[in-house]
Amino acid sequence: MATEKIILGIDPGTTVMGFGIIKVINKQMHFVQMNELMLKKYDDPYTKLKLIFERTLELIDTFHPDEIAIEAPFYGKNVQSMLKLGRAQGVAMAAGLSRQVPITEYMPKKIKMAITGNGNATKEQVAKMLQSMLKLKTLPKNLDSTDGLAAAVCHFYNEGRVEVGKHYTGWDAFVKQNTDKIDKQ
């Protein structure tokens, strides 16, 4: 009997949210889709968050993923950018949690390492490796969608491993795993 699983990968952002979907059949990856939600034209940050939430729900309701892999925001030089990314990630996670889809969070270096073997790989290197792995004819102009696809592929490669990243199965699990952070505020 064939075992099937659909994994939705998300690269959150308030300018562009990239996403990719793979189907796993009998431990073999198959490309389903990748795309981007373009948010540049919206000035209001709350409109952007609403659109991220709605698009994530639409993806869940259309493709019925069994799991979501999401790229974690990383600390760069700009704290405001990290805050915006964290909000984008949070609303995408909230959409998944509202539909009871388990979520695993991966650091960008872990995703790059899973795809290329190099945690410092460029977006272009990740995209080219995905193109080769999944036999994609062309790559998109913007590489946010390949970053979302990379999160899904990373999750596939890390399946069954202990301590792959933060993993939430629903609101209760999220609250339980983050109570110490909430209590400190």
Average pLDDT over residues 52-67: 98
List helix spans (H) across 22-170.
45-63, 79-98, 108-116, 123-134, 144-158
The CATH number of the domain holding residue 117 is 3.30.420.10
Residue 168 scores a pLDDT above 60: no
Active site residue 71: yes
Residue 162 scores a pLDDT above 70: no
How confident is the model over 92-147, as pLDDT tens digits? 999 999 999 999 999 999 999 999 999 999 999 999 999 999 999 999 988 999 99
- State how far the Cα of 72 lies from the Cα of 86, in Å rounded to an integer: 8
Question: DSSP letter at 99?
Answer: T
Residue 180 marked as a ligand binder: no
Which of 118, 117, 173, 146 lies closest to 35 in space, CA to CA? Answer: 146
Active-site hit among 36, 67, 71, 147: 71
Residue 11 marked as a ligand binder: yes
Active-site hit among 11, 67, 105, 147: 11
Residue 183 marked as a ligand binder: no
Active site residue 144: yes
Which of 97, 36, 31 lies closest to 68 in space, CA to CA? Answer: 97
Number of domains in the chain: 1
Q: pTM of this prediction?
A: 0.85
Task: List the domain range (segments joined by +) for residue 128.
Answer: 4-181
Active-site hit among 36, 67, 144, 147: 144
